[in-house]
Amino acid sequence: MKASAFAYARATSVANVLELLSAYGERAKVLSGGQSLLPAMNLRLIAPELVVDIGELGELRGIAVKGSVITIGALTRHADLLKSSEIAAHAPLLKDAVAHVAHPAIRNRGTIGGSLAQADPASELPACMLTLGATIVVCGPGGERRIAAREFFSGIYETALTPQDLLVAVELPVTPRTSTHFFHEFARRHGDYAIVGLAAQAVVTDGRFADLRLGFFAVGDRPLLAMSASRLVGVSITPAVLSEACTALDAELDPPEDQQATSAMRRHLAKVLLTRCVSSLLARPDLCAGASA
């Protein structure tokens, strides 16, 4: 199938985008890498009257580190993140995660702004934003808004963006040198959307977690920053403590059932990931060996 007829505008500036989005509202769609928008249009799941191509807005592309903040422009492509020495040095979790987003051809076009605006609950990058404590920078008719990642994702393909808003950048705190991370997802093939995934970051001191952030994806209608992580912080981790954390995690999940997996399968896999994550971050293979998950 091919998309319904639509008008096309190549935006000349952020102000020009906002003008067009204000005029058209829900009848317009922003085009970044097109890797989600164009398939949806071709399948006629959506039929915008106007497509606003922001691809020429160079000011929205790039990665800059200033002090303790990394700013990533919305048009920065997945492939740029993957090869960036700044991301490797200051947000290594993100680098590991991007390697699991689709395939090279898609990573060469798809952008971080597009991925976050799309808000697919099975996507890697939204969960990373929660784990890393990102701020999403948005321009709209009322000016600039800065939205904490935990407030940004509101449902399946739903975010705090209004039809008049443009996501312009993402800000991440530089990962402390004492941090360590874990990224893993279960997928049918490398590059497929995850069945369940976990992006975690931690500070480990004397064999205990001083800090632990667990960003799960494909376990509900939006990425989940698991509160059950707090049960593992500051305590000696035994199989019993880990098992209690798995039970607490289970209560936080609301996994969908689809052709990839049942809800029960996703619950099981999330607990397997939590166990592997804790075992890996603490370098305690005994925790995996003893796990019933």
Ligand X SMILES: Cc1cc2nc3c(=O)[nH]c(=O)nc-3n(C[C@H](O)[C@H](O)[C@H](O)COP(=O)(O)OP(=O)(O)OC[C@H]3O[C@@H](n4cnc5c(N)ncnc54)[C@H](O)[C@@H]3O)c2cc1C
Q: Cα–chain-centroid distance for residue 196?
A: 13
In the complex with ligand X, the residue whose CB is nearer, 112 or 237, is: 112
Length of the chain: 293
- Burial grade of 119 (CB within 10 A; 0-12, 13-18, 19 or more): buried
Contact map string, positions 182 to 221, toward ligand X, x by CB under 6 A: ---------xxx----------------------------
In the complex with ligand X, the residue whose CB is nearer, 158 or 286, is: 158
Q: Is 134 in the site for ligand X (CB under 6 A)?
A: no
Q: How far is CA 24 from CA 30, 199, 255, in A?
A: 11, 37, 35
Q: Which candidate, 285, 277, 97, 95, places its Cα nearest to that of 202?
A: 277
Q: Is 35 in the site for ligand X (CB under 6 A)?
A: yes
Strands 7-10 and 50-53: parallel
Q: Judged by CB under 6 A, which of 25, 39, 104, 141 binds ligand X?
A: 39
Q: Is 223 in the site for ligand X (CB under 6 A)?
A: no
Q: Is 115 in the site for ligand X (CB under 6 A)?
A: yes
Q: How far is CA 287 from CA 179, 243, 249, 281, in A?
A: 21, 10, 17, 11
Strands 63-66 and 69-73: antiparallel
- Burial grade of 269 (CB within 10 A; 0-12, 13-18, 19 or more): buried
Q: Is 110 in the site for ligand X (CB under 6 A)?
A: yes
Give the number of residues in contact with ligand X, rule: CB under 6 A: 31
Contact map string, positions 44 to 83, toward ligand X, x by CB under 6 A: ------------------------------x---------
In the complex with ligand X, the residue whose CB is nearer, 165 or 201, is: 165
Q: Which residues bind ligand X (CB under 6 A)?
A: 29-37, 39, 74, 101-102, 106, 109-111, 113-115, 117-118, 123-125, 161, 166-167, 191-193
